Every structure is written in structure tokens, then in C-alpha cells.
Amino acid sequence: MVRFVHPARQDITLAGILAALADPARLMIVKSLIRQNECMNCTEAGPCNMAKSTLSNHFRVLREAGLIHTTKQGVEHRNAVREADINARFPGLLKSILKHADE
């Protein structure tokens, strides 16, 4: 069974995106998700040396900023970046930020 963990967020804001990506751990998570180009569960997408409650909180922030959406498949959560939605709202922004995220 696949279902959404949270309803899709209505408004994606610039401040929300910047605040979400300003944290190195969250930027790393989004980078991982984009690079893999597919869904990943929370543990494999996030930094390993971090309490799982902290990791869970970072994913919540990313969800609430509208950057990712999460579906629950069995025991794990599958996360994916909402690239289409973000690009529709802020054309070029995500690409422009992530372009520099590996240096």
C-alpha cells in the first residue's frame, strides 16, 4: 500500500526554500535525492552521524518547505524532490543553487 505521509504543501516560498537549504544537512539530503534521481528512504538520504530524531526533523522541514514529498511504502518512507513544482514556482532557482552545491 502506498499513501502520502502528509498532504502536499500549498505554498512554496522563497524564504522557505532558502531556509531549508541553508542547513548543510538538508542541502546534502536534497543533493542526494536529486543525484540518485529516484526515491530514497530517510536513513540512506541523510548524513549517517546524526540522531534519527534530528534526521526526522530535517525531513519534516524539507516537507513543510515544499521541497520534497514523502510516501510510505511498507516500513520505510520514500522521499523525492518536488522538482516540477519548484521549477514551476521559481524557474531556474533549484538548478542554480544545486549547480554550486558540490564544490
Partner DNA sequence: TCAATAGTTCAATATTTCCGAACTACTGAA
Partner DNA sequence: TTCAGTAGTTCGGAAATATTGAACTATTGA
**DSSP string covering 47-102, please?**
-SSS-HHHHHHHHHHHHHTTSEEEEEETTEEEEEE-HHHHHHHSTTHHHHHHHTTT
Q: Which residue in 82, 69, 70, 61 sits closest to 18, CA to CA? A: 61
Helix (H, G, I), strand (E, B) or coil at 4: strand
Q: Which of residues 10-29 bind its own copies (CB under 8 A)?
A: 14-15, 18-19, 21-24, 27
Site string for its own copies, 42-81 (x = CB under 8 A): ----------------------------------------
Q: Which is nearer to its own copies, 38 or 103 (CB)?
A: 103
Residue 34's binding partner among its own copies, DNA, none (Cβ under 5 to 8 angstroms by kind) is none
Q: Rule CB under 8 A: which residues touch its own copies?
A: 14-15, 18-19, 21-24, 27, 90, 92-93, 96-97, 99-101, 103
